[in-house]
Amino acid sequence: MSNHLTNRPKKNEYNPYYETYIGLVPTENILEHLEITKLATGAYLQSIPADKWDFRYAEGKWSLKESWIHVLDTERIFAYRALRISRGDATPLSGFDQNEYVPFYNANHRTAASIIEEYEAVRMATISLLKNIDNAALRRLGTASDSPISVRALAYMIAGHELHHLNLTRERYGVIE
């Protein structure tokens, strides 16, 4: 079974809050985008100097390690939602408070290499999942965080959320390629 994930989600497939992420995605072919960014983001993260990973751009803000572990957690949660909805599970899925997760990251005990390795594994799992969801399931609507959401919107949200954090890494953490 194969799909192409080549159509952007319609506005009724997601909460307007997520337009911030979906609007960042520059392509119609989201699966190809996820495959390309797996390589590009992995290389970019590997190029970040060691001293930047513990940097916080302001008091009370996440370190770069925390920021990228958050990206991983969010991708996993969005992919989990995509799995459940694609399989016809109509159970409303709860939201999550990203700030509540940070104390449990143990980011100070993580190496950049371990975060990059995890990034690549999570992305491969996401790609594998999405490759094998048929076109009807991609358009299937479920409920997450009290709003309708489609599987394809979740795919775009994964990609856009990563792009958002790449922009933050460049702009706020000063990591220029």
Q: Is residue 33 part of a domain?
A: yes
Q: Is residue 164 part of a domain?
A: yes
| Segment 130-163, tens digit of pLDDT | 999 999 999 999 999 999 999 999 999 999 999 9
| Segment 41-93, tens digit of pLDDT | 999 999 999 999 999 999 999 999 999 999 999 999 999 999 999 999 999 99
> How far is Cα 147 from Cα 119, in angstroms, rounded to an integer?
27
Q: Is residue 145 part of a domain?
A: yes
Q: Is residue 3 part of a domain?
A: no
With helix as H, strand as E and coil as C, how does 55-90 read? CCCCCCCCCHHHHHHHHHHHHHHHHHHHHHHHCCCC
> How far is Cα 115 from Cα 118, in angstroms, rounded to an integer?
5
Q: What is the largest CA-CA distance in the chain?
A: 49
Q: In this predicted structure, what is the pLDDT of residue 2? A: 53
| Segment 164-176, tens digit of pLDDT | 999 999 999 998 8
> How far is Cα 89 from Cα 64, in angstroms, rounded to an integer?
35
Q: Is residue 24 part of a domain?
A: yes
Q: The domain containing residue 159 runs over which residues?
A: 11-171
Q: Is residue 37 part of a domain?
A: yes
- pTM for the complete prediction? 0.95
Q: In this predicted structure, what is the pLDDT of residue 3? A: 64
Q: Is residue 155 part of a domain?
A: yes
Q: Has residue 31 got a pLDDT over 70?
A: yes
Q: How many domains does the chain have?
A: 1
Q: Is residue 177 part of a domain?
A: no
The CATH number for 119's domain is: 1.20.120.450
Q: In this predicted structure, what is the pLDDT of residue 124? A: 98
Contacts of 40 (CB under 8 A, 6+ apart): none
